[in-house]
Amino acid sequence: MLERTLVILKPCTIQRALVGEIIRRYEIKGLQIIGMKMMQLSDEILSDHYAHLKDKPFFQRLKNSMMTTPVVVCCMQGVNAVHTVHAMAGATNGREAAPGTVRGDYCMSMQSNIVHTSDTPENAVAEVNRFFKPEELFDYQLAFFDYLYANDEF
């Protein structure tokens, strides 16, 4: 079954001019971008997005860092997209992320760790809805879709 998931390219990614490189990795894997935009995150949306971290001592610092520049938010689609995108990101701490993952190849930080990715299908639905209006997501088929999966995989 096709799933949708959220990817946020964080301010560190913008500042290091890695946007195209990171998106390229997901596209080469076979994930389909069905929504993408640049936006400036507000304290309000970040408080909602990171509500599960509100009692952590780094909560405000995390929100502040996410507002230093605009971010690029993407909605990606594919079979088991949530797990695939999250696994490709690697461990949260870039120093511990395996080589070959996005964080393992591009960062040395726990906080400035290149991307946010949805971690569960339930969170993916909530996060995509938080950052995208329905009319900002597009339903289309990639020309090479039939070559991404066996016909019994979706």
DSSP assignment string, 26-57: HHHHTPEEEEEEEEPPPHHHHHHHTGGGTTST
- Length, in residues, of the chain: 154
Is 116 catalytic? The answer is: yes
Distance of CA 153 to the CA centre of its chain: 23
Catalytic residue, candidates 52, 83, 86, 116: 116
Rounded to an integer, what distance in angstroms lies between the CA atom of residue 50 and that of residue 136?
23
Active site residues: 116
